[in-house]
Structure 1
Amino acid sequence: MKFAIITDVHGNFDALEAVLDDIDSRNDIETIYNLGDNIGVGHETNKVLDAIFDRDDMEIIAGNHDEAIMSLVNDTPYPEDLKDKFYEHHQWIESHLDEDYYDRLNQLPRKIEKSINQRKLLFIHYEISNDKLNTPIDGIPFSPIVEPTENNMTQLFSDKDADFIAFGHNHTVHLFDDKSTIDFNPGAVGLNNGSYAVYGIVTINGNEIDVERVKVPYDNEEFLRGYDEKQVPGKDLIFDKFL
């Protein structure tokens, strides 16, 4: 069995399109697991949602930006940890979000669990301790980001029972496959990689799990110009920290 992992598209349709085209060209990817943060930071919100919700082969979970933006839609408390950085930007995203997607975004789960060839697989945006899996986003359920070391990953996910854990949120690659539980973050599709989009391919053959990170070149100039053309709030922070 072979599947793909994408995460942190962050409103960058051009990067997402490059990744999906590469996945489709392979003709051997059975499922795409999308680990959240599809909207926010980037400005191509509805184009991204059109692309992901139109596919029959994609399973999707929620990220913290997805949930924070939906808190504005739902008129529920907004998370304090994002207020200083993203509140105005998220308001802008919410004002441009097609209401046809409200229900689907609200219904996204926070994790997906699978069992393949007696191997337990967990797909999650980032660690949420088991006692916070139902905590609303304003309760800050996602654990603080830790440095991507093998020891930190073991401690971070110590309450999870899985042979393979795929996650996103921290936009840099993590691959720790030399221990009993494989931890893998392919990096953000839409941010932090310049003119490349990234994703992961996982192959399960018997009890063996093989992981590959794929980098796909794409033209990011139109995406970058869009911040000025659309007068996107928060551009300075976004360019400084994420692009």
Structure 2
Amino acid sequence: MTLPISEDPFSRIVKPSLHNVASLFKESKEELICFGHHHPVHYFENDTTIYLNPGSLGCNSKTTAPYSVVEIHKSKIVISLKEAAYDNKEFLSSYERLQVPQRDFLLKIFHGNQLQ
């Protein structure tokens, strides 16, 4: 049985897939389940449920911020996956200026070494 991260924060994270998220949320009967704590965008859908992770606004290997627009109509839910371009050079440069501990590792893992 997979427990919520709040109950088992060190459990192995499984690869997001329709099968895995449907299994994780099998007790839920909602038509839309939004989830996060994983930086890439994920959109899965089966006959009864949409599973959506809109992605991370700050931890990205591109100079775009992913987001999602959810429209709820009487007969269906419509999801639009979007991206907004932005200039993050000043933010990324601040890691060096502020002497952030482990900055090389953080810039590599969370920002794809965009400054190089």
**What TM-score does the superposition give when structure 2 sets the normalisation length?**
0.82
1:202 equivalent in structure 2: 70
- Alpha-carbon distance in 1 for matches of 2:23, 2:11: 12
Q: Kindly indicate whether the alpha-carbon contact (under 8 Å) linking 2:41 and 2:66 is maintained by their aligned counterparts in 1.
A: no
Structure 1 residue corresponding to 2:4, chosen from 112, 128, 132:
128
1:197 CA displacement: 0.7
| Within-5 A mapping of 1:69-88 | none
Residues 65-86 of structure 1 show CA distances to partners (whole Å, capped at 9, x for unaligned) of xxxxxxxxxxxxxxxxxxxxxx
- Alpha-carbon distance in 2 for matches of 1:145, 1:201: 26
Which amino acid letter does the alignment assign opposite residue 84 of structure 2? V
1:174 CA displacement: 0.9
Note closer, same or farther for the CA distance 1:186–1:143 as it changes in structure 2 (3 Å cut): farther
Residues 53-104 of structure 1 show CA distances to partners (whole Å, capped at 9, x for unaligned) of xxxxxxxxxxxxxxxxxxxxxxxxxxxxxxxxxxxxxxxxxxxxxxxxxxxx
Gaps of 5+ in 1: 1-126
The structure with the largest helix share of the pair is: 1
Runs of 4+ in 1 over 6 A off after TM superposition: none
Structure 2 residue corresponding to 1:216, chosen from 76, 80, 84:
84
Q: Kindly indicate whether the alpha-carbon contact (under 8 Å) linking 2:18 and 2:45 is maintained by their aligned counterparts in 1.
A: no
1:150 CA displacement: 0.8
- Alpha-carbon distance in 1 for matches of 2:93, 2:27: 43
Task: Name the SS for the 2:15 alignment partner.
Answer: coil
Q: Give aligned pairs, total.
A: 109
Q: Kindly indicate whether the alpha-carbon contact (under 8 Å) linking 1:196 and 1:217 is maintained by their aligned counterparts in 2.
A: yes
Residues 188-217 of structure 1 show CA distances to partners (whole Å, capped at 9, x for unaligned) of 111124210111110001031011111000
- Alpha-carbon distance in 2 for matches of 1:179, 1:200: 21
- The CA RMSD over aligned residues, in Å, is 2.1
Q: Kindly indicate whether the alpha-carbon contact (under 8 Å) linking 1:128 and 1:143 is maintained by their aligned counterparts in 2.
A: no
- Alpha-carbon distance in 1 for matches of 2:95, 2:84: 22
1:157 CA displacement: 1.7
- Alpha-carbon distance in 2 for matches of 1:212, 1:193: 21
Which amino acid letter does the alignment assign opposite residue 104 of structure 2? D
- Alpha-carbon distance in 2 for matches of 1:173, 1:201: 13
1:143 CA displacement: 5.7
Note closer, same or farther for the CA distance 1:154–1:219 as it changes in structure 2 (3 Å cut): same
1:154 CA displacement: 0.8
- Alpha-carbon distance in 1 for matches of 2:16, 2:27: 18
Gaps of 5+ in 2: 112-116
| Within-5 A mapping of 1:44-123 | none
